Amino acid sequence: MTPQPFTRRTSEEELSDLRARLRATRWPDAPEDAGWTLGADVAYLRELAGYWADGFDWPAREAELAALPRFRVRLGGLGIHFVHARAVAPAGPALPLVLAHGWPDSFWRYTKVIPLLTDPGAHGGDPADAFDVVVPDMPGFGYSDHPPRPLDSIAVAGLWADLMTVLGYERFGAAGGDIGSGVSRFLALDHPDRVVAVHRIDAGMPVYQGDPADLAPEERAFLGAAAAWGAAEGAYAAMHRTKPQTAAVGLTDSPAGLAAWIVEKLRSWSDCGGDVERSYTKDEILTNVMLYWLTGTIGSSMRMYHANAAIPLEQHARRVEVPSGFSLFPGDLAHPPRAWLERVANVVHFRELPRGGHFAPFEEPELYVEELREFFRPYRNRPQVR
């Protein structure tokens, strides 16, 4: 139960194997001028793969990640990897904050915001807004162990509560997006005595079993828009929920295939105007993809969708009573109205931001951090550490 410092140094053999696979890729044909309309743009992926094989400096990126205070600890029979960055010269007690990522990412999602949260005084902020930041990789993601059976968001929330106990935090804040939004929600639902407040950048895809006539017009429109999005864009999620192992075979074997599966979502879900490199550099994209490639976690990460699909409906109907904040970014998948958020949570903070998307902590780190600082400010005067 004692966290151990963690670093990972990729061997030259692993990198040579990756380059050989990239150079030997059998590329599919594509209809003329298809671009991204049918999925991943093969022309862009060929360019990206060429840079991956012959220009991308993974050892340099790996060294940057190694500069973060990273650890592993045994929880629930699994090795869990996490970043634990303590506040730098806080003006008063630092608020512990656990940040929950989603798919297709890992602790990578929060790498830009960690220094801003732990040392606001060095980044134009108030030192009184400093956080102790904890960013775990969910089981089956990043450098955490692959679980022998898929875990759902409820189980992961329980692990994160245990992790905060191991780190000595009795009370803490929680924040997340995508699957991490659900994990943060269940942290607040199942551990309301410990979570001082919960911040989310989405409310997940809506689940409603009541009479639609009981909903406000904007709520009905939201449910309709979410269903339309699922019909047009949700094929990946249907695969993850039902037959993840089928896709995992090819995606674990082919780096080009893995990049296609991930990069198409980075582009589609970001506020990039159709140009993925408006939101991410090639190095940033490939760092995210490499964390999946080297750990072989694309299959285990997809299996979490299968586990979450089995969560009982009554769990979705529970209302979060812990003070809740929502910061909605225009490039994200779904845009719940405030009426819906009030239905599912005790909303004390609601804001629609001018730019950013599904990966807002990476796309717009300053905007995201300012939302966290403002939202959690009233909850700093409570005892946090045992």
Amino acid at 34: A
Residue 382 is predicted with a pLDDT of: 54
CB 332 within 8 A of CB 357: yes
pLDDT < 70: residue spans in the chain: 382-386
Question: In the structure, how many helices (H) and strands (E) does the chain have?
Answer: 16, 9
DSSP code, position 318: P
The tokens describing 189, both together, are: 């639902």
User: Among residues 208, 280, 305, 379, which one is catalytic?
Assistant: 305
Residue 272 corresponds to which tokens in the numbers above? 């990039």
- Residue 43, φ and ψ in degrees, nearest 5: -60, -45
Which of the following is catalytic: 132, 137, 178, 271? 178
CATH superfamily of 41-379: Alpha/Beta hydrolase fold, catalytic domain (3.40.50.1820)
Instruction: At 331, list the tokens.
Output: 């490039």
- Per DSSP bridges, beta strands 131-136 and 78-85 are antiparallel
Residue 35 tokens read as 């671009």
Q: Where exactly are the structural domains of the chain?
A: 41-379
Q: What is the pLDDT of residue 90?
A: 87
Dist CA 340 CA 219 (whole Å): 6
Catalytic annotation, pick one of 81, 101, 191, 358 = 358
- Residue 312 makes CB contacts below 8 A (sequence gap 6+) with none
| Composition of the chain by helix, strand, coil, percent to 5 | 50, 15, 35
pTM metric for this prediction: 0.96
- Please report the pLDDT score of residue 91 as a whole number: 85
pLDDT computed for residue 383 by the predictor: 43
Question: What angle (nearest 5°) sits at the alpha carbon of residue 19, between those of residues 107 and 248?
Answer: 55
pLDDT for the residue 384: 45
Structure tokens at 216: 């406000």
For the question of residue 358 being annotated catalytic, the response is yes
Distances (CA, A) of 343 to 148, 158, 203, 213, 346: 36, 24, 11, 15, 8
DSSP summary character for residue 376 = H
Element (H, E) at 348: strand 345-352
pLDDT at 1: 80
